[in-house]
Chains A and B, each alone.
Chain A
Amino acid sequence: MNTNAYRADPPEARRVIALDGVALIFHRPSGLTHILAPPAPQILEALAEGDAEPAALLDRLKRDYDFGDSDDLEAALEARIAELEMSGLVWRA
């Protein structure tokens, strides 16, 4: 229980539709609809590779996306993860 890794449902658990710049997501386990702006959908995609702590998750995201050289990336990512956790889309593994 002392790991800080996060987990998300597999991609099949979600139906995603792109609507002008945001992702419209139907989350099958809850029956809830979410509208997510980047990078939240990308975080869910990156978690599809497996559970990850914020630092490892950031590495996965950096591999696919260019974030420039901002220094607070990990703090910003943790804030987005906290929002996703509140919505039930990710949870602590």
Chain B
Amino acid sequence: MKHEFRVRVGPAGFRIGSDWKQPIDQLAALYSDYPAPDIPDFTVRLFAQRPWRRFLRPSVMIGGDYMLPDAAPVSLAHGLLAAEMGMNLQMALGQRRYLLLHASAVERDGKALLMTGHSGAGKSTLSALLGERGWRFMGDEFVLVDLSTAVVHAFPRLVSLKNEAITLFEGAVDADRLGPLMRDTPKGDIRHLQPPTDAIAKMSEPARPALLLFPRFGHAPDVREVGEAEVFVRLTQASTNYVALGEAGFDALSSLVRTIPTRAVDYPDTENAVASVERLWMELAE
């Protein structure tokens, strides 16, 4: 294609082709510290629906090795978002080497804290915040569970800050680490954040899962135990490839569920969340 960028995030390499220069330049700036794969795992294509739509009201179609048949185009101003969506789509539909959990993760002392829940539950913001406060950021979207050793692999792509979460980081982090502010995307306002340097440098180091939390933002502080069967069901729902991995996926997930301490956590605001995460980590992480 006319413009191309390659990047490896954790164990997954991507080749992103585009009919336009702008999204590629933005990717190159924000992923500047990442390695480039020579043979990528996945191809993403950003293309115009019709040749003249490259220039006239340009809208970006998202394609690649794995595609959704009815994906809607996004405006060129949101081209970086389109690239990120395309990469996520390849992982969600095409990842066959690891059990993919829709979860965020941070690491300390070789041990990983996993957080999963519905979108809007705050797992992404919380992981990014912890990444700025002494934890190693492993990813805000996907965690990759190894099928043979039960460790988890990092997937530290750009953090996708949404709406109110954007102001938490503006001013607090180096401005070079922030992408363009994209207003009124299908998911509201979005601004991408480059993960901290150590998160990128250590992205090939796996960690042993030591604590699993189901956070919920905007509720009175509360901590509840969750039964193993419920944890299992919630994690299968948080996985896009559990079924496709067959018995290997079953083994990896059931042994994770039986060994990892798990809590559901409600919190009213992010400061409260960071404090309760630190406390639970001290109490439970083995």
Interface set of A (CB-CB < 8 Å, partner B) = 15, 17, 19-22, 24, 26, 28, 31-33, 35
Complex CA distance for A19 and B234, rounded to whole angstroms:
14
Q: Does B243 contact A (CB under 8 A)?
A: yes
Pair A19/B232 contact, Cβ less than 8 Å: yes
28 contacts between A and B (CB under 8 A): A15-B247, A15-B250, A17-B254, A17-B258, A19-B227, A19-B228, A19-B229, A19-B232, A19-B254, A19-B257, A19-B258, A20-B227, A20-B228, A20-B229, A22-B229, A24-B229, A24-B232, A24-B254, A26-B247, A26-B250, A28-B247, A31-B243, A31-B247, A32-B243, A33-B242, A33-B250, A35-B229, A35-B233
Q: Which residues of B contact A24 (CB under 8 A)?
A: 229, 232, 254
Interface set of B (CB-CB < 8 Å, partner A) = 227-229, 232-233, 236, 242-243, 246-247, 250-251, 254, 257-258
Q: Which residues of A contact B229 (CB under 8 A)?
A: 19-22, 24, 35
Tell me the number of A-to-B contacts counted with CB atoms below 8 Å: 34
Pair B257/A33 contact, Cβ less than 8 Å: no
Nearest-neighbour CB distance to chain A for B188, whole angstroms, equals 35
Nearest-neighbour CB distance to chain B for A9, whole angstroms, equals 14
Q: Which residues of A contact B258 (CB under 8 A)?
A: 17, 19
Complex CA distance for A20 and B227, rounded to whole angstroms:
7
Nearest-neighbour CB distance to chain A for B257, whole angstroms, equals 7
Complex CA distance for A31 and B248, rounded to whole angstroms:
10
- Classify the interface of chain A: helix, strand, loop or mixed: strand
Complex CA distance for A44 and B236, rounded to whole angstroms:
24
Nearest-neighbour CB distance to chain A for B31, whole angstroms, equals 37
Identify the interface centre among B242, B247, B257: most chain A CB within 10 Å of its CB.
B247
Complex CA distance for A1 and B246, rounded to whole angstroms:
33
Known contacts A19-B232, A33-B236; 4 further A-B pairs (Cβ under 8 A): A17-B258, A20-B227, A24-B232, A33-B243
Q: Which residues of A contact B254 (CB under 8 A)?
A: 17, 19, 24
Complex CA distance for A43 and B229, rounded to whole angstroms:
20
Q: Which residue of chain A has its CB nearest to the CB of B250?
A: A26
Complex CA distance for A53 and B206, rounded to whole angstroms:
52
Q: Which residues of A contact B251 (CB under 8 A)?
A: 15
Q: Which residues of A contact B246 (CB under 8 A)?
A: 31
Complex CA distance for A35 and B233, rounded to whole angstroms:
9
Q: Which residues of A contact B236 (CB under 8 A)?
A: 33
Complex CA distance for A28 and B247, rounded to whole angstroms:
7
Complex CA distance for A35 and B232, rounded to whole angstroms:
10
Q: Which residues of A contact B250 (CB under 8 A)?
A: 15, 26, 33
Complex CA distance for A48 and B246, rounded to whole angstroms:
24
Complex CA distance for A17 and B259, rounded to whole angstroms:
13
Complex CA distance for A19 and B262, rounded to whole angstroms:
14
Q: Which residues of A contact B247 (CB under 8 A)?
A: 15, 26, 28, 31
Nearest-neighbour CB distance to chain B for A24, whole angstroms, equals 6
Q: Which residue of chain A has its CB nearest to the CB of B247?
A: A26
Q: Which residues of A contact B243 (CB under 8 A)?
A: 31-33
